[in-house]
Chains A and B, each alone.
Chain A
């Protein structure tokens, strides 16, 4: 059984202008020891979907799912007591905005010790000892001294690492890390990613890593889920995703990487992600897709498979990056060419 199994997760917000669907029928399966990255444009519902799992969305959100099971517990029907023992202990999250999730009125040491107190049966001294150990693990120099500091006395990067220390304090089975290193310098980022991967390796922690940095994805993740406008448009293991993306959005995103440019200009995706009021009919990516066909404007695509990739597209790209409809044309041409070669060979053979 998977550690986390989510099927058809949908989140709608009540807004002044009516219902807004921020997450649209997302599936996610995570096994013990997995590292899954979630990537996608700003506003594509990455944070909201994970906050929904944690039960941390405001009342304006309506959450529905066919299945939402963590470690045998149905997340939709947790009692308050179960929630306390699971959320924050077995399933923990590093939040995107560290300052908003640390309490400015208490020292960071107090906050770390409190979270240890809530979830673990440790003595006072053990808690203090563990707090020092945690700050040391996330690479904060002089941990004893830092424990006495208030959040405003630390830099953004330091607070981010305090958050990380709190999230891993109880050795969670699943850690959801929402842009954990975005505020950090590359030197510190490398240190933190190393730590997270080490936890995954040594204690079989599963890691869901939300990031917009394709470099971090390439170096850290085993599997990648790509979101666009609230939907999961593609999921693949990391190697084939970078090598042969199946969804035109993923392909366009990778092409926009400066590393992949050959000239003065970068490949770019025209237009912007649709908002609440300009969601197109059919495929949500259709207004920006370079392979768009008439069908895409009319009909909503459904999840299909392409050797190991799950993809939400009418015309998934093949391993050569050609859309399915083009491949059909191309293949028939190829066949013609092949038969011609055959004829030549036969001719050659006859001469």
Chain B
């Protein structure tokens, strides 16, 4: 076995936004992404879960290089992108592509499918001839389970599931190595959801694609993920293999998420942890551990000191250097909590 180096390494990525709430108030800073570190290997899926507003889409935009990080570094395929370096970004942009949740909003209604698929080639592969582009677009339609004659139709002629296939086809036109999937099946019916998830599994196998898979549906995550990152208020609070997170969740917040997720089995005995309070604002995050105002284990230490993300098995070893991660598999279980629910 060859020990492959990770395709994507994120080291303490942040993304802040400045917002003004009124003409005379001074601008405030939204800490949408407040320091995320992770690695992602070719052919693997890292799922990102967490409440609405915890920074999942912000992370997606930073990894896709639609936005640059406020601080931290992103290394893709061995090339490092820093906040103020746009040349590396341009070179890497086609290796990471994104698919959004909304199959209606993400396609231009006035463009035919062929045009939609070819646009990335027109921009990024100017030397390609029109014939080559069309051939590639038609191939891609077949690959995602559509028919070549769909080439000259408009998006409104397609169902939600078909539009999501088109969005996936478009994302694959530049032969990326990483696909960022931001809630790719949330708008779809169960029967269509499974068609799309199967397609994603097949494409991953065929092209050894790495997926950053964002979803709020834990049953979908459990099915798709190799690794899982649980985020709270812009930061990962627990990361690990799928089994570690689903079977041995140690962070109180992960426990809450798992216990709140309804199980599609009426005989299942629910044992629910009910949380009070809302996700706090990333403009004014709580002191110490961001989860402490809602946590039943919180004490004065939690109020004062932010816990570091550290190995669950070997406490006392913060991963300050995730760019030199332990061997694959050993990265398994990290959490940021003073009082893990072991």
**Does A189 have its Cβ within 8 Å of any Cβ on chain B?**
yes
Nearest A residue (CB) for B219 = A258
Cα–Cα, bound, A217→B272 (Å): 16
Within 8 A of B (CB), among A270-287: 270, 272
**Does B300 have its Cβ within 8 Å of any Cβ on chain A?**
no
Chain A residues whose CB sits within 8 angstroms of the CB of B216 once the complex forms: 185-186
Chain B 248-265 interface 0/1 with A at a Cβ cutoff of 8 Å (1 = within)? 000000001100111111
**Does B20 have its Cβ within 8 Å of any Cβ on chain A?**
no
Within 8 A of B (CB), among A233-283: 238-239, 242, 252-254, 256-261, 264-270, 272
Instruction: Judge whether B222 and A141 touch: CB under 8 Å.
Output: no
* With A190-B272, A258-B223, A265-B201 as contacts: A239 and B267 at CB distance below 8 Å: yes
Stretch among B82-90, B92-100, B190-198 lining the A interface: B190-198
Chain A residues whose CB sits within 8 angstroms of the CB of B192 once the complex forms: 268, 272
**Does A214 have its Cβ within 8 Å of any Cβ on chain B?**
yes
Chain B residues whose CB sits within 8 angstroms of the CB of A41 once the complex forms: 189, 191
Within 8 A of A (CB), among B162-203: 162, 189-195, 197-198, 201
Nearest B residue (CB) for A270 = B195
**Does B51 have its Cβ within 8 Å of any Cβ on chain A?**
yes
Instruction: Judge whether B194 and A219 touch: CB under 8 Å.
Output: no
Chain B residues whose CB sits within 8 angstroms of the CB of A267 once the complex forms: 194
Q: Is the interface of A mostly helix, strand, loop or mixed?
A: helix
Nearest B residue (CB) for A182 = B186
**Does B325 have its Cβ within 8 Å of any Cβ on chain A?**
no
Q: How far is the CB of B160 from chain A (nearest CB, A)?
A: 7
**Does A215 have its Cβ within 8 Å of any Cβ on chain B?**
yes
Interface size class of A (residues with CB under 8 A): 35 or more
Instruction: Judge whether B189 and A216 touch: CB under 8 Å.
Output: no
**Does A203 have its Cβ within 8 Å of any Cβ on chain B?**
no
20 A-B pairs in the complex with CB atoms less than 8 angstroms apart? A155-B52, A185-B216, A186-B216, A187-B257, A187-B275, A212-B189, A212-B190, A215-B261, A217-B264, A218-B268, A219-B263, A242-B264, A242-B266, A252-B191, A253-B190, A256-B190, A258-B197, A261-B223, A272-B162, A272-B192
Chain B residues near A (Cβ < 8 Å): 51-53, 159-162, 189-195, 197-198, 201, 216, 218-220, 222-223, 256-257, 260-268, 270, 272, 274-279
Chain A residues near B (Cβ < 8 Å): 41-42, 139, 141, 155, 157, 185-191, 193-194, 212-220, 238-239, 242, 252-254, 256-261, 264-270, 272
